[in-house]
Chain A
């Protein structure tokens, strides 16, 4: 019950945020936060719940970003219409790379995903159809409302929020079903899961496909908002690393972990960027590195886990004080 109230408050906060903080700076943070939360929540399905730590999810983000703009460039389609095609391509890629890479486990799987994402980045950087190193551009001026080209950040904020809500509702439904149990079992011990009749490879493939589809949507949303894409901002390793860190910071394999991680990381990242200006762009790497060290050393379960561990102590402290009083 208390949990529901908490999440109700969070939902209300997210709905009201752009009304309360109206400056373009705050709205930009809001939109960036939502995008990071969507990407990390999508990653979380396979990386968090199933424990298959992909560090190459930018491949799906990038496909989701490129496809709408490619269809616009070739045939003038509104970028919105490209989203399902991006999703389909990402799912196809997920199934294609899942077959060989899921034979690997642990770090080897992670490294294989990095390699695939990097190969695609390099390939897109030399492929003329997708604008090679320069990339692609979307409609500069809205031709109709379907182009979703707005001056204000506000419509983007609510569109992104709606997508995040759909993703979290879906994840929450899956979490409670057989599929969710199977993912957690696979994460804990594939060997034991198999012995209990869990179709491990099939389940991992399904998780990767679902995760890829939503990561692709995140890429499409990004490009619909920014209106252009190039190989680095689509397939760069930092895109993948951000998903991992956001989810791990909040709590990988928990429903709201990625949301919480984004809530902490994005303002922090924006703050360091604005404090140190353009010259500080390398600081993102330092920030990520620092967070990795802190999570690995002190809190592998993320902030959610920390909260659950601290809560009994707080209660005890609270309780004993009340007692003393």
Chain B
């Protein structure tokens, strides 16, 4: 087991954004995490990455308890993450951005640069381009490159593929596949079902701060609790009444 989060919860005052979530990830998996807006996915991600300290629960990574470890310590341990809104270092070039990540395992400049170049080749970016001149797809790609340079064992991708055109998305999916092939375990939060269905073998659904369903993507999307979480309570009755009124219209 690479990562095991047990009964993780995070409360902001009276509001429990994450309420007893569990997640177990084996080395080499790609897991999808979906859920309606406000389900607590990002807060849960932040708990895993160390940006937010959980109120209760335990997070064990590679056999070590990291529940209260700082983000920088988790990065050293091998947990990497991207952000929903890309936070590239704007005034730096692509290679300098990636070198910041590379310095974690390669303290000397030349080694860091060499490693950064390898990662940039994998991600298909241009090393000397200024980060500020990149568009959304480029920024997302750069974020992935930057975190890859830290040589993570587990990569948490927070909507890294949102806001891309269909072509860009296909390229991004191929990139995530390549990254996975290098041996990195991936947990991906995503709204776009196409991405989830193509990339993942196992899918978890988050609602109201908890995991409400898990299994293969095909099984999960048919799960009653999942449909209810997305469409709301009483969706079946609404569907039926819709059908009845359709019929009435046809009969008229």
Interface on A for B, CB 8 Å cutoff?
176-178, 181-182, 184-185, 187-189, 191-200, 253
25 A-B contact pairs sorted by A residue (CB < 8 Å): A178-B103, A178-B107, A178-B109, A178-B112, A184-B92, A184-B100, A188-B90, A189-B89, A191-B51, A192-B87, A192-B88, A194-B70, A194-B72, A195-B80, A195-B83, A196-B75, A196-B100, A196-B104, A196-B147, A196-B149, A197-B72, A197-B75, A197-B101, A199-B72, A200-B72
| Complex CA distance for A199 and B81, rounded to whole angstroms | 16
> Which among B70, B83, B100, B112 is the interface contact of A193 at CB below 8 angstroms?
B100
B87 with A197: CB separation less than 8 A: no
B149 neighbours in A (Cβ, 8 Å): 196
Query: How far, in whole Å, are A185 and B147 apart by their CA atoms in the complex?
Result: 13
Taking a contact as CB atoms closer than 8 A, the residue among A177, A187, A192 that contacts B83 in the complex is A192
A197 — which chain B residues lie within 8 A by C-beta?
72, 75-76, 101, 104, 150
With A195-B49, A196-B150 as known contacts, state yes or no: A189 contacts B100, CB within 8 Å. no
The residue of chain B having its C-beta at the shortest distance from the C-beta of A191 within the complex is B87
CA distance A198 to B243 in the complex (A): 58
Kindly state the separation between the CA atoms of A22 and B80 in the bound complex, as whole angstroms.
61
Query: A176–B81 contact, CB under 8 A?
Result: no
Interface residue? B157 (CB, 8 A)? no
Q: Across the interface, name the chain A residue whose C-beta is closest to B101.
A: A196
* A176, A185, A187, A200: the one within 8 Å of B109 (CB): A176
Alpha-carbon distance between A184 and B70 when the two chains are bound, in angstroms: 21
A181 to B107, CA, bound (A): 11
* Those 3 A-B pairs whose CB atoms lie nearest each other, nearest first: A197-B75, A188-B89, A192-B87
Having A188-B88, A194-B75, A196-B104, one finds 12 other A-B pairs with CB under 8 Å, namely A176-B109, A178-B112, A181-B96, A188-B90, A189-B87, A192-B87, A192-B88, A192-B146, A195-B49, A195-B80, A195-B83, A200-B72
A189 to B87 CA separation, bound complex (whole angstroms): 7
- B71 close to A (CB within 8 Å): yes
With a cutoff of 8 Å between Cβ atoms, the chain B residues found around residue A177 in the complex are 109
> Which chain A residues lie closer than 8 Å to B104 at the CB level?
196-197
**Residue in chain A with minimal CB distance to B49:** A195
Counting CB contacts under 8 A, is B91 at the interface? yes
A59 to B83, CA, bound (A): 38
Asked if B30 is at the interface of the complex by the 8 Å CB criterion, the answer is: no
CB neighbours (8 Å) of A253 from chain B are 91
The verdict on B99 contacting chain A, using a C-beta distance below 8 Å, is yes
Residue of A nearest to B71 (CB): A194
Find the A residue at minimum CB distance from B98: A196
B49 adjacent to A188 (CB under 8 Å) = no
Given contacts A178-B112, A196-B146, contact A184 B96 (CB under 8 A): yes
Q: What is the CA–CA distance of A182 and B103 in the complex, to the nearest angstrom?
A: 9
**A176: chain B residues within 8 A (beta carbon):** 109
The digit string for B61-95, where 1 denotes a CB below 8 A from any CB of A, is: 00000000011100110001101000111111000
Given known contacts A194-B71, A195-B71, A197-B75, is B87 in contact with A181 (CB within 8 Å)? no
Q: Which residues of A contact B100 (CB under 8 A)?
A: 181-182, 184-185, 193, 196, 198
Q: Complex Cα distance A176/B76, Å?
A: 22
Q: Which chain A residues border B92 with CB–CB below 8 Å?
A: 184-185, 188
Q: Chain B's nearest CB lies how many Å from the CB of A222?
A: 32
Least distance between B87 CB and chain A CB atoms (Å):
4
A194 to B92, CA, bound (A): 17
Distance of A20 from chain B, by nearest CB (Å): 37
- A187 → B minimal CB distance (Å): 8
State whether B91 touches A188 (Cβ < 8 A).
Answer: yes
Q: What is the CA–CA distance of A194 and B81 in the complex, to the nearest angstrom?
A: 11
Q: Are A198's CB and B72's CB within 8 A? A: yes
Bound-complex Cα distance A188 to B146 (A): 14
**Chain B neighbourhood of A181, CB < 8 A:** 96, 99-100, 103
Least CB separation from A200: chain B residue: B72
Which one, B75, B88, B90, B96, contacts A195 given CB within 8 A? Answer: B75
